[in-house]
């Protein structure tokens, strides 16, 4: 091998942390599109999945994103989230598949016995949609910094034919050589944002001027306090004795099912203000506002095993 | 702000979890609810202090056993750098985890207990980091508070390690005396060790110079995906998407496409709406060529005078990661850059004792967590470089075709 190339003009060819994270995520999207027969992007309407949309858009530009988008309709989604979703989907020209929890209950795919949480029902609905459509790879917006159980999650996370995750039996993942081998009936969860933190996501949203649902920014809303969380008042939740509705200036740090997702009081009306707020925030986004994670330290891990996103 | 990835290693009880807990806490990567959960657990266990180590203990089953058994990734940032820690456990049997964590690391951090000095395990950690060509190594001599912050203790560990390190490939070595529990020399320079003139650990991590670690001379672009919009607006667009693995590529550069051997010129390099003037590792870009060639995934774009040698006979160091041993005549799947194929194991030349560097020529197989030199014959030519020149084009994984599991990690000689 002969070597005639001149050394580079300057030695500091470095990427910023956001550019490096973006390059890694784009690499993951392309790798999956090249190696899997039927990928799908799981879209929750939250900032992480919207970031994924932008990264996927960049990965294949000027071609369209070569896979559809799947959303689980909980029946309790914020209208602002649905309209943001529709605007993204129509701009990118991707196919949208909506898997409805209510439909899944009606079809007997999942059983709503009044005790099962909406989250479990969502998991069942999601797994059913993946199986029915025969998706072999499903992109999720999970980040490893979100929760302890996620710190050991792989970028390519193998799911057995029941959609379950086996944390004891994960494949080693080396360099950026992802192993996409699956057997019939199995699928892979793909986490292109694995190495991003909550702050990275917000910096990126700011840098890229990414359109988000309005509920992320401060607005006035009718709310009430339940179990220490501020929940949005409305037809979807019956007030319990002693609960009273007040108008407050709030924003949401995560979006999900309206019956479970709390908001925080905040005046942050743009991305810069949100970044300032997060930089000094003392509570993780899940701990602050997700009723479903608060029960035990291991709650997340249990749900992940069952195939939650 | 840029990014530094580092891997940590230490034997059980050297204080690795305490150190990481402290780095996260002092850089405010720990939130109140996480700290509260850990305080509650510490109390429930009857401790009279908050066990920072609990902050980083992952999955429940491991928590119950009180040990970390898989690579866990942690994140923190200071005003100048974002850090990704690959936290790898130090048990004897978990070489594979260290290899995994080290594979993406710019820097390796090995902990030793000042009272015990270097152990067989600390030597092994250094050997693995050097085999994986992690360019920077930091030896943190921990628990200095338990040896009265003694300069002599530190010096003797330093001397022993430095002389051991001469047998390895360690381009950059830094040794720091610390107390993870009390914080000495972790974020701030310690007042207890005036004899130590070097930087605090975090200062070193923030300033270690990693810009020159990547190969910016030998252009390597494994084609990952062909972008063909076939839309009205981009009717004739044909771009080769991928991640730069080495060198700097510019529009106008003459290029050679392997394995076909066709040559062309770079017409443009795209990243979303922008055209890029220079593409370098680890950028993800889309390259357009001036000529209409048949280029597809698995091909490599490089320079006519500087190309890897396509080869079907591969000589590599392999770390074996599964229970059933690696043996001659075994067949496996291989993934190298964006190429996949099959390999036949021709020979296991020797097994490397990662504690002593002794080469065992007698054993013709590799067991779980063993590393050895292996000869492979591939069904497709690999477009590869020696791993010591390029960690991307010099590495591969081996996959069991029946189970789909990743069973080996290889570094090409
Ligand atoms: N005195 C002292 N104790 C330490 C120091 N670092 C860790 N320890 C203690 O050593 C024990 C093992 O630490 P841990 O972080 O769990 O070790 P790991 O197994 O390497 O993760 C714990 O009881 C720590 O409190 C130190 O710098 N000084």
**Least confidently predicted of B11-15, B137-141, B363-367:** B11-15
Using an 8 Å CB-CB cutoff, list chain A residues near B86: none
- CB environment B239-275: b (16+ within 10 A), e (fewer): bbbbbbbbbbbebebebbbbeeeeebebeebbbeeee
Domains in chain A and their CATH numbers?
17-199+300-306 (3.40.50.620), 212-294 (no CATH)
Nearest alpha carbon, ligand 1 atom 21: B17
Alpha-carbon distance B197 to nearest alpha carbon in chain A (angstroms): 28
CB B186 less than 6 A from any atom of ligand 1 = no
**Alpha carbons B112 and B9: distance in angstroms, whole number:** 9
pTM: 0.91
| Across A181-185, A190-194, B35-39, least confident range | B35-39
Residue owning the nearest CA to atom 13 of ligand 1? B15
Residues 123-182 of A with CB under 8 A from B: 144-145, 148-149, 151-152, 167-168, 170-177, 179, 181-182
CA–CA min distance B179, chain A (Å): 25
- For residue B338 and ligand 1, the question of a CB distance below 6 A is answered with no
- What residue spans of A97-158 are helical by DSSP H? 101-106, 118-133
- Is the pLDDT score of B356 beyond 50? yes
> A55-59, A187-191, B27-31: which has the minimum mean pLDDT?
B27-31
| Nearest CB partner across the interface for A168, out of B61, B104, B307 | B61
Tokens of A247: 């108008």
Instruction: Please report the pLDDT score of residue A176 as a whole number.
Output: 96
Q: Specify the pLDDT at position A7.
A: 41
The full DSSP string for A29-95 is HHHHHHH-SSEEEE--SSHHHHHHHHHHHHHHTTSPPSS-EEEEE-S---HHHHHHHHHHHHHHT--
Asked if residues B19 and B140 have their Cβ atoms less than 8 Å apart, the reply is yes
Whether the CB-CB separation of B277 and A52 falls below 8 Å is answered with: no
Ligand 1 mutation target, pool B11, B149, B180, most atoms within 8 A of CB: B180
Query: Under an 8 A CB cutoff, do A197 and B77 touch?
Result: yes
Segment A241-250 mean pLDDT: 91
Q: Please work out whether the CB of residue B146 comes within 6 Å of at least one atom of ligand 1.
A: yes
Tokens representing A143 are 């980040």
Cα separation of B200 and B206, whole Å?
10
For ligand 1, whether the C-beta of B353 sits within 6 Å is no
Range in A78-87, B21-30, B216-225 the model is least confident about: B21-30
Task: Please tell me the distance in Å from A267's CA to the nearest CA on chain B.
Answer: 21
By the CB < 8 Å criterion, does A14 face chain B? Answer: yes
The pLDDT score that the predictor gives to residue B61 is 47
pLDDT of residue B96: 87
Confidence of residue B273 (pLDDT cuts 50, 70, 90): very high
State the angle between helix axes of B151-165 and B120-131 in degrees (0 to 180), rounded to the nearest 10. Answer: 40
CA of A291 from ligand 1 middle (Å) equals: 34
If you measure CA to CA, which chain A residue comes closest to B40?
A: A297
Q: How far is A107 from chain B (nearest CA, A)?
A: 34
pLDDT in tens, B301-338: 999 999 998 999 999 999 999 999 999 999 999 999 99
pLDDT in tens, B32-79: 666 777 777 777 777 766 777 776 654 444 545 544 467 889 999 888
> Up-side HSE of residue B44: CA atoms within 13 Å toward CB?
7
ipTM: 0.93
Check CB contact under 8 Å for A200 and B82.
yes
pLDDT at A3 > cutoff 50: no
- Structural domains in chain B? 3-211 (3.40.50.300), 220-302 (2.40.30.10), 310-412 (2.40.30.10)
> What residue ranges in B143-191 does DSSP mark as E strands?
172-177
Ligand 1 centroid–CA B63 distance in Å is: 16
Which residues of chain B does A262 touch, with a Cβ-Cβ cutoff of 8 Å? none
Question: What's the length of chain A?
Answer: 309
Interstrand relation of A219-226 and A39-42 (parallel, antiparallel or unpaired): unpaired
Q: B62 in ligand 1 pocket by Cβ < 6 Å?
A: no
pLDDT at A218 over 70: yes
For residue A287, what pLDDT is reported?
54
- Contacts (Cβ under 8 Å, ≥6 apart) of A191: A139, A140, A141, A142, A143, A144, A153, A154, A155, A157
| pLDDT above 70 coverage of chain B, percent | 93
Task: Report the pLDDT value the prediction gives residue A293, as an integer from 0 to 100.
Answer: 45
Of B3, B60, B230, the CB nearest to A20: B3
Rounded mean pLDDT of A266-284? 82
- What is the Cβ-side half-sphere exposure of residue B61, based on CA atoms within 13 angstroms? 10
């Amino acid at each position: 091998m002969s070597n005639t190339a001149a050394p580079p003009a300057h030695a500091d060819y470095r990427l910023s942390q956001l550019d490096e994270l973006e390059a890694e995520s784009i690499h993951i999207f392309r790798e999956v599109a090249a190696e899997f027969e039927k990928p799908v992007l799981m879209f929750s309407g939250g900032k992480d999945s919207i970031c994924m949309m932008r990264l996927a858009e960049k990965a294949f530009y000027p071609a369209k994103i070569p896979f559809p988008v799947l959303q689980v309709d909980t029946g309790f989604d914020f209208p602002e989230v649905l309209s943001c979703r529709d605007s993204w989907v129509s701009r990118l020209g991707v196919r949208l598949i909506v898997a409805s929890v209510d439909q899944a209950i009606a079809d007997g795919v999942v059983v709503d016995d009044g005790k099962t949480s909406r989250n479990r029902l969502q998991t069942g609905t999601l797994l059913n949609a993946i199986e029915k459509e025969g998706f072999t790879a499903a992109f999720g917006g999970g980040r490893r910094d979100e929760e302890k159980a996620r710190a050991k999650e792989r970028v390519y996370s193998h799911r057995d034919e029941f959609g379950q995750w086996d944390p004891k039996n994960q494949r080693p993942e080396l360099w950026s050589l992802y192993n996409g081998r699956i057997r019939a009936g199995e699928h892979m969860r793909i986490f292109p944002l694995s190495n991003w933190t909550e702050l990275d996501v917000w910096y990126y949203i700011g840098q890229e001027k990414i359109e988000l649902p309005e509920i992320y920014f401060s607005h006035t809303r009718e709310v009430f306090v339940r179990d220490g969380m501020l929940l949005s008042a409305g037809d979807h939740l019956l007030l319990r004795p002693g609960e009273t509705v007040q108008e407050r200036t709030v924003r949401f740090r995560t979006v999900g099912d309206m019956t479970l997702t709390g908001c925080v009081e905040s005046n942050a009306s743009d991305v810069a203000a949100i970044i300032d707020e997060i930089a000094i925030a003392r509570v993780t986004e899940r701990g602050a506002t997700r009723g479903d994670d608060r029960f035990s330290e291991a709650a997340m891990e249990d749900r992940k095993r069952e195939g939650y996103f | 702000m840029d990014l530094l990835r580092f891997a940590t290693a230490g034997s059980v009880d050297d204080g690795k979890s305490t150190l990481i807990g402290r780095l996260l806490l002092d850089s405010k990567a720990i939130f109140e609810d996480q700290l509260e959960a850990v305080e509650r657990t510490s109390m429930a266990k009857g401790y009279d202090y908050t066990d920072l180590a609990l902050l980083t203990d992952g999955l429940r089953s491991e928590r119950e056993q009180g040990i970390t058994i898989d690579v866990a990734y942690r994140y923190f940032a200071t005003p100048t750098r974002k850090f990704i820690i690959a936290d790898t456990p130090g048990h004897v049997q978990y070489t594979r985890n260290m290899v995994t964590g080290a594979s993406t690391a710019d820097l390796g951090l090995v902990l030793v207990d000042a009272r015990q000095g270097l152990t067989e395990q600390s030597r092994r950690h250094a050997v693995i980091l050097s085999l994986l060509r992690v360019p920077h190594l930091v030896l943190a001599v921990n628990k200095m508070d338990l040896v009265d912050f003694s300069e002599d203790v530190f010096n003797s560990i330093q001397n022993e390690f430095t002389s051991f390190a001469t047998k390895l490939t360690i381009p950059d070595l830094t040794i720091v005396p610390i107390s993870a529990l009390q914080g000495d020399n972790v974020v701030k320079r310690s007042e207890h060790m005036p004899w130590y003139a070097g930087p605090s650990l975090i200062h070193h991590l923030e300033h270690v110079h990693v810009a020159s670690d990547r190969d910016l001379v030998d252009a390597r672009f494994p084609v990952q995906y062909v972008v063909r919009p076939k839309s009205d607006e981009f009717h004739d667009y044909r771009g080769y998407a991928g991640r730069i693995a080495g060198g700097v590529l510019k529009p106008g550069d003459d290029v050679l496409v392997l394995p076909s051997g066709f040559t062309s010129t770079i017409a443009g390099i795209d990243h979303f709406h922008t055209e890029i003037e220079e593409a370098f590792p680890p950028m993800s870009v889309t390259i357009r060529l001036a000529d209409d060639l048949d280029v597809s995934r698995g091909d490599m774009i490089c320079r006519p005078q500087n190309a890897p040698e396509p080869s079907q006979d591969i000589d590599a160091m392999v770390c074996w990661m599964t229970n059933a041993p690696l043996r001659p005549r075994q067949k496996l799947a291989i993934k190298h850059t964006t190429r996949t194929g099959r390999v036949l194991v021709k020979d296991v030349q020797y097994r490397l004792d990662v504690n002593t560097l002794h080469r065992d020529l007698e054993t013709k197989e590799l067991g779980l967590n063993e590393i050895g030199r292996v000869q492979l014959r591939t069904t497709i030519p690999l477009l590869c470089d020696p791993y010591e020149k390029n960690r991307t084009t010099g590495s591969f994984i081996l996959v069991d075709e029946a189970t789909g599991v990743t069973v080996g990690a290889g570094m090409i000689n």
